[in-house]
């Protein structure tokens, strides 16, 4: 690892000399390029290449890096998945496909995460895919149910519940094509009915094992190679418990699915970070990480194996959190903090040490269940919908997408950069600044998922909502369909925002995840045709299969360009 750090530092020092200096500084910020902090478990999973020899970094190689000029895609409103020259895709799996004789792939795929079964073979492993929510129109159509939301049968609700959660599928790459291994013993579904344990010493609403997971948006990976899947807009399914001025709980009905009318599950069982074992499917909800609309959970392992977990609450004026464990490899023992980005302080959501929390809540369990209220009592900074979070592999800075906050006239969002004091991930102070703002000047709007590739290029997706895209009179018209962008770290395009993929109509591109060898980008195409009112006249037909309706699907993006972008791989790192 030390060798990798050293070599990365040399490469970036060398490339630095050729950069447009302004772009370089704006990208890397103030940190020294010597502080390289790539989480080893992100690079070690299946990456079989050998470390680069310093003498291999010749001027020829550096010149080659600089020559990478990417011809970005223009914005498009076409109903297709369009890719820039040098990239191509194939569909790995789509909604309704059989993964075994018993199970099918769920709806609205989001976060993806690939873990090789054997570290020596990066082309054979288990793919986790989140299924965030369902579109009742399509579930009803494919299963012969009514589309009248007031007349749903229990069988229809069960079908909806089956189609959220997540899928584990074994996939293999042969001759450049990733394919699922049907009926592989590891293939399984986790659904809104799968029993899931709470990783906590106390019951919540009388239960220590709860029914299912839902609203699974983005996620993460642990250093011990398990999947994390995050429950985001949980209140759409079983509603929420709100507290009146007297502190009395009131049930706020779910705004969309109405599952509480069919199953007696309390809202408090949802809104958590969930960990799934790839091989057994065993799952647990991590109560210590708090309860809110978790977009994602991004982990960093400290030298003493304690864990730092960053997670954002994707809702207007909600907050950014970090958990720091007190024991190695624990997501239970430790302290949850919330960010005061104005003063650069992490505020402890800790009942024992915070009298203001003791006045309002009876114990730490209540603090964690009602984390949003506790955060506000402590003075946490309201943010414009914190979504995905990634750690810059070169500088160790933490990047956070702030999608938008229309109520505050922030229509295009921005990417926030957090620099922990002295580069220490368990620091209690930090500085925050805007890395890049959305808008026509930078060519993107509403940043959502982020992914750094092996060379430190930043890839990100956009999430303009379907009912505002391509609409006259809306601020999103110029951006056309949602897209995938990259900000190159090297070459003549360093620091520019380049569109590399354009989504089908109404869709959002989600869950970007690089294969261990850096040669494939797994990507979800979520909710194509979401604005459809008439099933016989859908707004999208992607991926153009025999059913003639749109289907969410996971694709593999490959090609010369990805391999070029991952230049360090070419240098045998
Ligand atoms: Fe499910 Fe915040 O995106
Ligand atoms: Ca998202
Ligand atoms: Ca989003």
Q: Which atom from ligand 1 is nearest to the alpha carbon of 388?
A: 2
Spatial separation of the C-alpha atoms in residues 33 and 395, rounded to whole Å: 7
Say how many Å lie between the first and final Cα of the chain, rounded.
11
Q: Which residue, chain included where needed, has tokens 């020294």? A: 32
The Å distance, Cα 236 to ligand 2 centre, comes to 16
Which of 44-53, 295-304, 395-404 is the least confident region? Answer: 44-53
Q: Which ligand is located closest to the Cα atom of residue 482?
A: 3
DSSP state of 75: P
DSSP code string of 481-529: S-EEEEE-SSSTTTT--EEEEEPPTT-EEEEEEE-TTSS-EEEEEE-TT
Spatial separation of the C-alpha atoms in residues 374 and 430, rounded to whole Å: 21
The Å distance, Cα 484 to ligand 2 centre, comes to 13
Pairing of strands 82-83, 483-487: unpaired
Q: pLDDT exceeding 90 applies to what percent of the chain?
A: 80
Which of 2-6, 216-220, 524-528 is the least confident region? Answer: 2-6
pLDDT at residue 552 greater than cutoff 70: yes
DSSP code string of 113-138: EEEESSTT-TTEEEEEEEE----HHH
Q: Which ligand is located closest to the Cα atom of residue 231?
A: 1
Q: What is the pLDDT confidence band of residue 128, given thresholds at 50, 70 and 90?
A: very high
Spatial separation of the C-alpha atoms in residues 434 and 426, rounded to whole Å: 22
The Å distance, Cα 231 to ligand 1 centre, comes to 10
57 vs 59 pLDDT, higher one: 59
Q: List, in order, residues 6 or more apart from 181 with CB less than 8 Å away.
A: 169, 170, 171, 172, 187
Q: What is the pLDDT confidence band of residue 5, given thresholds at 50, 70 and 90?
A: very low
Q: What is the pLDDT confidence band of residue 464, given thresholds at 50, 70 and 90?
A: very high
pLDDT at residue 393 greater than cutoff 80: yes
Q: What does the pLDDT read at residue 45?
A: 29
Q: What is the pLDDT confidence band of residue 529, given thresholds at 50, 70 and 90?
A: very high
The Å distance, Cα 384 to ligand 1 centre, comes to 13
| Run of H or E including 227 | strand 227-231
DSSP code string of 403-466: --BGGGTB-S-EEEEEEEGGG-TT-SBEEEEEEEE-BTTTTB-SEEEEEE-TT-PEEEEE---T
Q: What pLDDT, in 10s, does the model give residues 252-283? A: 999 889 999 999 999 999 999 999 999 999 99
Q: List, in order, residues 6 or more apart from 144 with CB less than 8 Å away.
A: none
Q: What pLDDT, in 10s, does the model give residues 402-441? A: 999 999 999 999 999 999 999 999 999 999 999 999 999 9
Q: What does the pLDDT read at residue 61?
A: 59
Contact of 546 with 538, CB cutoff 8 Å? no
Output the six-digit token pair for 516.
């261990």
pLDDT, mean of residues 434-456: 95
Q: Which atom from ligand 1 is nearest to the alpha carbon of 293?
A: 2
pLDDT at residue 571 greater than cutoff 90: no
Q: What does the pLDDT read at residue 421?
A: 98
pLDDT at residue 301 greater than cutoff 70: yes
Contact of 572 with 57, CB cutoff 8 Å? no
Q: Which residue, chain included where needed, has tokens 């569909």? A: 91
Q: List, in order, residues 6 or more apart from 251 with CB less than 8 Å away.
A: 239, 240, 241, 242, 260, 267
Residue 546, classed as helix, strand or coil, is coil
Q: What does the pLDDT read at residue 67?
A: 63
Q: Which atom from ligand 1 is nearest to the alpha carbon of 110?
A: 1
Q: What's the chain's average pLDDT? A: 89
Alpha helices in 132-190 (DSSP H): 136-143, 154-162
Q: pLDDT exceeding 70 applies to what percent of the chain?
A: 87
pLDDT, mean of residues 67-74: 79
Q: What is the pLDDT confidence band of residue 150, given thresholds at 50, 70 and 90?
A: confident
Q: Which ligand is located closest to the Cα atom of residue 316?
A: 1
Q: Which atom from ligand 1 is nearest to the alpha carbon of 232?
A: 1
Q: Which ligand is located closest to the Cα atom of residue 293?
A: 1
Spatial separation of the C-alpha atoms in residues 260 and 266, rounded to whole Å: 8
pLDDT at residue 450 greater than cutoff 90: yes
Q: Which atom from ligand 1 is nearest to the alpha carbon of 218?
A: 1
DSSP code string of 349-391: --TTT-HHHHHH-SSHHHHHHTHHHHHHHHTPPPEE-EEEEEE
Q: What pLDDT, in 10s, does the model give residues 175-184? A: 999 999 999 9
Nearest residue (CA) to ligand 1, atom 1: 217
Q: What does the pLDDT read at residue 255?
A: 82
pLDDT at residue 27 greater than cutoff 90: no
Q: Which ligand is located closest to the Cα atom of residue 233?
A: 1
Contact of 385 with 375, CB cutoff 8 Å? no
Backbone angles phi, psi at 526, to 5 degrees: -105, 145
Contact of 107 with 554, CB cutoff 8 Å? no
Q: What is the pLDDT confidence band of residue 149, given thresholds at 50, 70 and 90?
A: confident
The Å distance, Cα 18 to ligand 1 centre, comes to 38
pTM: 0.91
Pocket of ligand 1 (CB under 6 A): 132, 217, 232, 295, 314, 387
Q: Which residue, chain included where needed, has tokens 């624990």? A: 330
Q: Which ligand is located closest to the Cα atom of residue 312?
A: 1
The Å distance, Cα 139 to ligand 3 centre, comes to 22
> Domain 2-234+270-570 class?
mainly beta
The b-or-e profile of 84-106 (16+ CB within 10 A means b, else e) is bebbebebbbbbbbebbeebebb
Q: Which atom from ligand 1 is nearest to the alpha carbon of 314?
A: 2
The Å distance, Cα 14 to ligand 1 centre, comes to 38
Quote the strand ranges of 254-369, DSSP E: 273-276, 283-286, 298-301, 306-312, 316-318, 320-328, 334-340, 345-348
Q: What ranges do the domains of the chain cover?
A: 2-234+270-570
The Å distance, Cα 308 to ligand 3 centre, comes to 23
- Name the CA radius of gyration of the chain, rounded: 23
Q: Which atom from ligand 1 is nearest to the alpha carbon of 463?
A: 3
Output the six-digit token pair for 419.
């620099």
Among 221, 220, 168, which Cα is nearest to 191's?
Answer: 168
Q: Which atom from ligand 1 is nearest to the alpha carbon of 295?
A: 2
The Å distance, Cα 387 to ligand 1 centre, comes to 7
Q: How far is CA 183 from the centre of its chain?
A: 27
Q: What is the pLDDT confidence band of residue 62, given thresholds at 50, 70 and 90?
A: low
The Å distance, Cα 232 to ligand 1 centre, comes to 7
The Å distance, Cα 256 to ligand 2 centre, comes to 19
Spatial separation of the C-alpha atoms in residues 298 and 388, rounded to whole Å: 9
Q: What does the pLDDT read at residue 456?
A: 85
Q: What does the pLDDT read at residue 567?
A: 62
Q: Which atom from ligand 1 is nearest to the alpha carbon of 132?
A: 1
pLDDT at residue 63 greater than cutoff 70: no
pLDDT at residue 56 greater than cutoff 80: no
């Amino acid at each position: 690892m030390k060798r990798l750090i050293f070599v990365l530092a040399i490469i970036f020092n060398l490339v630095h000399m050729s950069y447009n200096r302004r772009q370089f500084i704006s990208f890397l910020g103030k940190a020294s390029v010597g502080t390289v902090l790539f989480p080893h478990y992100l690079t070690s999973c299946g990456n079989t290449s050998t470390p680069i020899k310093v003498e291999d970094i010749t001027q020829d190689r550096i010149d080659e890096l600089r020559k990478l000029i990417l011809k970005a895609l223009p914005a498009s409103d076409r109903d297709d998945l369009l890719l820039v020259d040098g990239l191509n895709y194939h569909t790995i799996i789509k909604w309704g496909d059989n993964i075994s004789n018993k199970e099918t792939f769920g709806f609205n795929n989001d976060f993806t995460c690939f873990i090789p079964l054997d570290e020596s073979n990066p082309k054979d492993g288990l793919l986790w895919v989140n299924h965030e929510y369902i579109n009742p129109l399509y579930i009803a159509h494919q299963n012969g149910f009514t589309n009248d939301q007031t007349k749903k049968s229990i069988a229809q609700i069960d079908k909806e519940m089956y189609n959220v959660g997540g899928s584990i599928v074994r996939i293999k790459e042969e001759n450049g094509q990733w394919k699922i291994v049907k009926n592989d013993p590891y293939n399984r579904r986790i659904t809104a009915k799968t029993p899931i344990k709470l990783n906590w010493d106390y019951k919540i609403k009388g239960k220590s094992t709860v029914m299912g997971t839902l609203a699974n948006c983005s996620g993460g990976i642990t250093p011990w190679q398990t999947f994390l899947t995050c429950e985001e807009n949980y209140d759409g399914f079983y509603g929420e418990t709100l507290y009146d001025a007297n502190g009395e709980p009131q049930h706020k009905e779910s705004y969309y699915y109405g599952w509480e009318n069919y199953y007696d599950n309390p809202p408090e069982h949802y809104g958590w970070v969930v960990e799934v074992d790839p091989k057994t499917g065993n799952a647990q909800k991590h109560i210590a990480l708090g309860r809110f609309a978790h977009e994602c959970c991004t982990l960093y392992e400290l030298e003493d194996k304690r864990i730092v977990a960053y997670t954002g609450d994707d809702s207007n004026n909600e907050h950014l959190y970090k958990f720091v464990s007190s024991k190695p490899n624990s997501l239970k023992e430790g302290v949850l903090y919330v960010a005061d980005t104005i003063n650069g302080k992490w505020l402890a959501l800790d009942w024992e040490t915070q009298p203001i929390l003791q006045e309002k809540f009876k114990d730490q369990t209540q603090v964690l269940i009602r984390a949003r209220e506790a955060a506000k009592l402590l003075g946490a900074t309201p943010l414009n919908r914190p979504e995905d979070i990634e750690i810059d592999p070169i500088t160790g800075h933490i990047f956070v997408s702030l999608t938008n906050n229309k109520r505050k006239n922030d229509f295009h969002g921005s990417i926030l950069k957090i620099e922990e004091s002295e580069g220490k991930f368990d620091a209690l102070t930090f500085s925050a600044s805007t890395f890049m703002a959305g808008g026509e000047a930078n060519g993107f709007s509403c940043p959502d998922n982020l992914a750094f590739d092996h060379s430190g290029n930043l890839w990100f997706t956009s999430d303009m909502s379907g009912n505002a895209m391509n609409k006259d009179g809306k601020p999103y018209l110029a951006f056309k369909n949602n897209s995938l962008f990259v900000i190159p770290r090297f070459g003549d395009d360093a620091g520019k925002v380049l569109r590399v993929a354009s989504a089908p109509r109404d869709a959002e591109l989600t869950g970007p995840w690089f294969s261990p060898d850096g040669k494939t980008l797994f990507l979800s195409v979520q909710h194509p045709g979401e604005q459809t009112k008439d099933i016989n006249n859908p707004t999208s037909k992607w991926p153009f299969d025999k059913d003639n309706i749109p289907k969410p699907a996971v694709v593999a993006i490959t090609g010369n360009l990805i391999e070029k972008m991952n230049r360090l791989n070419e240098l045998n790192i």
